[in-house]
Amino acid sequence: MIRCPDCDTSFTRSDNLKRHQKASCRKRVQYHPNSSLPNKKPKCATSATSSDRWCETCKIYVPQSSYNGHLRTLQHKQNCCSPLEEGIGFLSSAFASRIASFRITSAKYLLSYNDFFTDVLDKCVRVIRNQIHLHDTLKINLEVFGRYVHETKQLVEIKSFNTNNKVVTRSIDLPNLLQNFFEILEAKASEFQERESGWILERVLFLEINFNKYNPLRASSYIPLPKQILL
């Protein structure tokens, strides 16, 4: 397999890779460590003419308009991932409303989402419990990543499926919560394969757990005045 250095899409032939890079790769940036372009020093952040932003983690220039999207790419996340223990990694890149993100992996080569979720359940419970202990109440969502193959088009791509945020507290039943999350992710993956004919799951890669700040609505002290006074 030949991989695109910018978006990690795989191809069986070099001409398909070149065609992809010229026409359809949406994650190309001005400079990549493996490219033939000359090495550039970071541009001054105070430069008024600069339209690019330097990503210190990935050591590349990214167009300012694409920077937030770059932070969500697998390339950036991989560079930000620090192993904590076997099967659990911490993603140091976090957005303003995000407390932390963790990547959960399995040592097994699993071809089923159900088998993968069963294998990583204990790790997920441990990670979530630790974060609840630190923050009491927060919002979490899950995103699972799998590598898919399209034999007709000779493509290999990474697809992901996520859940909505869910508020969690110390009293929540974590195994039951995770089981609900897993059912949602499995349903989305199944719908994708039914809708996008030809894609076959080659391997479940990893699961990301995102922890976000929880800001409950504050009770208002506003009391409307009687109509007689307003008039």
- Confidence check: pLDDT of 183 > 90: yes
Domain that holds residue 170: 2-23+87-215
32 part of a folded domain: no
13 part of a folded domain: yes
> Looking at the chain, how many residues does it have?
231
- Confidence check: pLDDT of 28 > 60: no
If you average pLDDT over every residue of the chain, what do you get?
79
Average the pLDDT over 109-137 and give the result: 95
Average the pLDDT over 205-224 and give the result: 80
Structural domain total, the chain: 1
Q: How many CA atoms lie within 13 A of 6 on its CB side?
A: 19
129 part of a folded domain: yes
DSSP-derived 3-state class of residue 158: strand
Amino acid at 5: P
197 part of a folded domain: yes
Host H or E run for residue 105? none
Here the CATH number for the domain that contains residue 176 is 3.30.1490
- Confidence check: pLDDT of 30 > 50: no
Q: CB 214: neighbour CB atoms within 10 A?
A: 17
Whole-number pLDDT of residue 204? 96
CB-based contact 7:26 (threshold 8 Å): yes
Integer Cα distance of 29 and 63 in angstroms: 7
78 part of a folded domain: no
Amino acid at 147: R
Considering the chain, what percentage of its residues have pLDDT values greater than 90?
45
163 part of a folded domain: yes
Q: Backbone dihedral region of 8: left (phi > 0), alpha (psi from -120 to 50 degrees) or beta? A: left
With a CB cutoff of 8 Å and minimum separation 6, the contacts of 41 are none
Average the pLDDT over 89-118 and give the result: 87
220 part of a folded domain: no
Query: Do the bridges between strand 199-212 and strand 60-63 make them parallel or antiparallel, or are there none, so unpaired?
Result: unpaired
Identify the band that residue 22 occupies on the pLDDT scale cut at 50, 70 and 90: low
102 part of a folded domain: yes
Whole-model pTM? 0.67
Does 54 or 160 have the greater pLDDT score? 160
